[in-house]
Amino acid sequence: MVDSSALARRSSLPRESSSPRPELSGEGRDSRDDRALARLRDPGALADRVPSRAGLLPMNADPGRLGALLERFRRVRLLVVGDVVLDEYLWGSVDRVSPEAPVPVVNVRDETVVLGGAANVARNVVALGGVVALCSVVGEDAAGRRIAELVKDLGVDPAGLVVAPERPTTRKTRVIARSQQVVRFDRETQDALAAGSTRKLLAAVEAALPGCDGAILEDYGKGMLAQRTALAAMRRLRAAGVPVAVDPKASLAPYRGAALLKPNLREAELLSGIAIRDAADLARAAKRVRRRIGGGALVVTRGADGMTIFESDGPGVPVATARREVFDVQGAGDTTIAALVLALRAGASLFEAAVIANAAAGVVVGKIGTATASADEVRESLPAALDAASGGAS
């Protein structure tokens, strides 16, 4: 079986072996760390046990410990592989209806462009204090060049962006008026990559692997992670002993051996083939999905209700989130998986990682547009997130 301990932190990171590891309260370097390290070094056996349900809520899961985990994020290097998007926003106001058709007239006041898709996952890793490498494809067009510029501005090497001349760069243009989205325009293809582009992408993945503590495969269904490419990427990641977390779209076939899967409720239904109406349905769906990926941990996000985490067959552990005003859910899933994997690689239990991820997502939904959460913002939100989650897990 594979469980989230495959994403558990090494006792130290190779590139910082000369620096002592900061210890968390109640946690020391013991034989469990050695066993976790041994599992990480064996890509064919990432784990040999599944933590019990009772073990998901550590007695010392307090804001201080969670804050210490946040501090460790700066020592974590992740690789993000997936569909990148150029998110464009037109900001304006609506004062009248068009005389040409029954549609609003938006008086555009401002325009912004930000990284979306897998690039937004990378943005969130950086905002939370981690280090990231990004591998994806862009078109041979102005939008692709703009993404490369924004990635470089983020402090991330754009060398992992492969130019695929056979496809356009994915662009999503949103028109926002009075804090409401009026309309969205999508310019994209969902075709699989050409053979030449696939070879270049896999070469970029291999080049980015050294020093990585974990990988995130972010599938937005735009064709980049079509089954053959996703399988090839998974083989390379597992051969390198890198634990993999997946944000899936519509297929589980390529992701057997993943240490963690993070679907939302709708995706969990599609992936399992089970209509989810209650907790029992969710448990059955989770069991089926986990078996299809070889027993990895499952985190099912449930919007305003937080998430439910599964490390073994059974009802799972609900992790409620603090209630807050929601302005825009765009990008919240990107924030969630970035925070989850950073926390796990920093030494968190799956429950602790879920609390941190809930806090981070709560920050993001309080903003308009594709946004990120900083480590300081998450730290301020941790007490409320932990209070809500502890009640949900009891």
Element (H, E) at 197: helix 195-208
> Looking at residue 12, what is its pLDDT?
34
- Tell me the residue range of the domain where 344 lies: 4-82+127-135+209-393
Would residue 76 count as lying in a domain?
yes
Question: Rounded CA gap, 73 and 71, in Å?
Answer: 5
Asked whether the predicted pLDDT for residue 292 surpasses 50, the reply is yes
Residue 41 lies in a domain: yes
- Between 45 and 302, whose confidence is greater? 302
pLDDT tens sequence across 205-223: 999 999 999 999 999 999 9
pLDDT at residue number 332: 87
**E-state strands within the chain:** 77-82, 84-97, 104-117, 131-138, 161-163, 171-177, 180-187, 214-218, 244-247, 260-261, 297-301, 307-310, 317-319
The pLDDT of residue 365 is 87
Q: What average pLDDT does range 59-73 have in this prediction?
A: 83
Q: Say what the pLDDT of residue 259 is.
A: 96
Provide the terminal-to-terminal Cα distance of the chain, rounded to the nearest Å: 26
Most confident option among 36-40, 94-98, 386-390: 94-98
Asked if residue 393 has pLDDT above 70, the reply is no
Q: In what order do the strands lie in the sheet with 180-187?
A: 104-117, 84-97, 171-177, 180-187
CB 115 within 8 A of CB 151: yes
Instruction: Measure the CA–CA gap between 175 and 105, rounded to whole angstroms.
Output: 11
- Per the model's pLDDT, the better-predicted residue between 291 and 370 turns out to be 291
Asked if residues 353 and 339 have their Cβ atoms less than 8 Å apart, the reply is yes
Q: At what angle do helices 118-127 and 142-153 cross, to 10 degrees?
A: 10
Residue 320 counted as domain residue: yes
Query: pLDDT (tens digit, 9 = 90+) per residue, 132-147?
Result: 999 999 999 999 999 9
204 within some domain: no
Euclidean distance between CA atoms 53 and 56, whole angstroms: 6
237 domain-assigned: yes
Q: Taking residues 40-60, what's their average pLDDT?
A: 35
Q: For residue 30, indicate whether it is catalytic.
A: no
Residue 116 has pLDDT above 70, yes or no: yes
Q: Is 156 within 8 Å of 132 (Cβ atoms)?
A: yes
- Per-residue pLDDT band for 78 (boundaries 50, 70, 90) equals very high
The CA-based dihedral angle spanning residues 196, 250, 115, 367, taken in that order and rounded to the nearest 10 degrees: 180
**Residue 186 is encoded by which pair of tokens?**
């999508």
What's residue 57's pLDDT?
Answer: 45
Residue-averaged pLDDT of the chain: 85
Q: Is residue 169 part of a domain?
A: no
pLDDT one-digit tens code per residue, 295-352: 999 999 998 899 999 998 888 999 998 877 665 566 789 999 999 999 999 999 999 9
pLDDT at 126: 98
CATH of the domain at 321: 3.40.1190.20
Q: What 3-state DSSP class applies to 271?
A: helix
Phi-psi group of 347: left, alpha or beta (phi > 0 → left; psi -120 to 50 → alpha; rest → beta): left
The total number of residues shown for the chain amounts to 394
pLDDT, residue 341, reads: 98
279 located within any domain: yes
Per-residue pLDDT for 4 more than 90? no
- Give the pLDDT confidence score for residue 178 in this predicted structure: 85
Options 83, 213, 219, 334, the catalytic residue: 334
pLDDT of residue 23: 29
Domain assignment present for residue 142? The answer is no
pLDDT at 366 over 90: no
Number of domains in the chain: 1
What is residue 246's DSSP assignment? E
Residue 14's pLDDT is: 34
